[in-house]
Amino acid sequence: MSDPASRKVIEIGPFHPLLEEPVGFSLTVEGERVVAIDARMDYIHKGLERLAQERTYDMVPILLERICGICSVTHSVCFCHAVEDLLGVEIPARAAYIRTILGELERLHSHLLWVGLAGHFIGYNTVFMWSWKYREPVCDLFEMLTGHRQNSALPIVGGVRRDLPVEYFPEARRILDELAGQTARLTAAVLDDPVLSARLRGVGVLAREAALDFGVVGPTARAAGLATDVRRDEPYAAYAEVEWDLVTRDEGDVFAKAVVRLLEIAESIRILRQCFDRLPGGPINLGTLHVPRGEGIGRYEAPRGEDVHYVRSNGTNMPERLKVRAPSFVNIPSFKASCLGAPLADVLITLAACDPCYSCTERAVVLQDRRGGPLPGAPELLAASRRRTAELARELGRPPDLELE
């Protein structure tokens, strides 16, 4: 079946039952084997970075909660990290714990959501229904603590906006205990299932070297044996003060990714319990802050991996520039390493296995020269980017990050 004439292009997307969001994958297949893959990710550019430049620093986190349907805490806290980096301030201990609680609750419901979707993709709807059932109380808990199932509007630069209602903590602990039992059972069932093993082991393998080459992050990297996690590498919030283990696997296949996420659920519950027990007193934010001229970078471990925000300030009360690099942005290209040569059925679960989130990733620019001239390739784009970086450094009066020839 290696006859090029038998090649067909199968378009997965922009509308397809596999996808919750519009994205286009063009899979070139020979029979059932995928030989080439191309992605189009420019269907729902929301222009949120631009919008953020017209909001004050207090308003931006609320806007950024809308970047992703799931990672609402991720992007707003990551932005706060960037501005706090610019300011060079430390947030109060209580705020750090509250941010940790929010972040781990988000990780819990995000991972449970993924487990369900993965089950659905391989035709295992029972797992889908059960794990989404387990996810519900987590969202309820989120609402109980913040007033909303998704968007808490809590993070602000220098801490959090409101305190958590301490009187709900016993109920929160009860929900966590229940969830711990349920997810332990789910994890055991998934690890035991011979059909799941046959279906997922050795599928969509992203080897350690390839993972390094593509610079993947989050569970995708940890399943490939890379012990990378911002919470451990550059601890923020309360992660340095609570006990938790970094979950890694060496296989790099879809099964390993599922296992990493399932075990991370248990770790999240562990972190949450400690946070509920040890929540310190004191202020929850630093009050009004003046943001001077300068630039800052925020890193945050989202459920899908490392999120990076870059903020540049010109001394006014609005950021001059905000750049968001969502974790899926670096995870999606790794499909070139993990999908080629695999049968169609395996490719689709592999696409889903890095838990891609497309609307957060929408920063794509499609280059098109209507006159048919040559398009700039990677070297030209890289050179342009370096020139711009050097210009920025000159404008801000700081030494350039790298020496240009």
Partner 1 sequence: MSWSWLDWLREAVGQPQFTLLFAPAAKFLVAIFAIFLLIAYLVFAERRLLGFLQVRLGPNRVGPWGLLQPIADILKLLVKEDTIPNRAVRWAYLLAPCLVVAPALVIFSVVPFGPSPTAPGAPRWYVTDLNAALVFVVALASLGIYGIILGGWASNNKFSLLGGLRSAAQMVSYEVPQGLALVGPLMLAGSLSLVGIVEGQARLGLWFAVPQIVAFFVYFVAGVAETNRNPFDLPEAESELVAGFHTEYSGVRFALFFLGEYANMIVISAIAVTVFLGGWLRPFPSVEALAFLDLVPGVAWFFLKVFAFLFLFIWFRGTFPRFRFDQLMDLGWKWLIPLSLANVLVTGLVVVLVDRGP
Q: Which stretches of the chain bind partner 1, using CB under 8 A?
A: 8, 10, 16-18, 32, 119-130, 133, 193, 195-196, 198-199, 343-346, 348-349
Residues contacting residue 145 through CB under 8 Å, at least 6 positions apart: 101, 102, 105, 152, 164, 165, 168, 172
| Residue 17 or 88 with smaller CB distance to partner 1 | 17
Give the whole-angstrom CA distance, residue 69 versus residue 65. Answer: 8
Task: List the one residue out of 324, 328, 318 whose CA is nearest residue 353.
Answer: 328
| Residue 125 or 316 with smaller CB distance to partner 1 | 125
The tokens describing 132, both together, are: 């989404």
Taking the complex as a whole, the smallest distance from the CB of residue 26 to partner 1 amounts, in Å, to 12
| Residue 180 or 345 with smaller CB distance to partner 1 | 345
The tokens describing 385, both together, are: 């980017």
Taking the complex as a whole, the smallest distance from the CB of residue 203 to partner 1 amounts, in Å, to 8
Taking the complex as a whole, the smallest distance from the CB of residue 181 to partner 1 amounts, in Å, to 15
| Residue 121 or 214 with smaller CB distance to partner 1 | 121
CA atoms within 13 A on the CB side of 379: 0
Strand, helix or coil for residue 382 = helix
Taking the complex as a whole, the smallest distance from the CB of residue 179 to partner 1 amounts, in Å, to 15
Q: In which residue are the tokens 């992203």 written?
A: 206
Type of residue at 72 = S
The tokens describing 297, both together, are: 């970078």
Taking the complex as a whole, the smallest distance from the CB of residue 116 to partner 1 amounts, in Å, to 11
Give the whole-angstrom CA distance, residue 36 versus residue 13. Answer: 16
Give the whole-angstrom CA distance, residue 259 versus residue 265. Answer: 10
Taking the complex as a whole, the smallest distance from the CB of residue 200 to partner 1 amounts, in Å, to 9
Angle at 78 between CA 72 and CA 83, to 5 degrees: 130
| Residue 32 or 54 with smaller CB distance to partner 1 | 32
| Residue 129 or 382 with smaller CB distance to partner 1 | 129
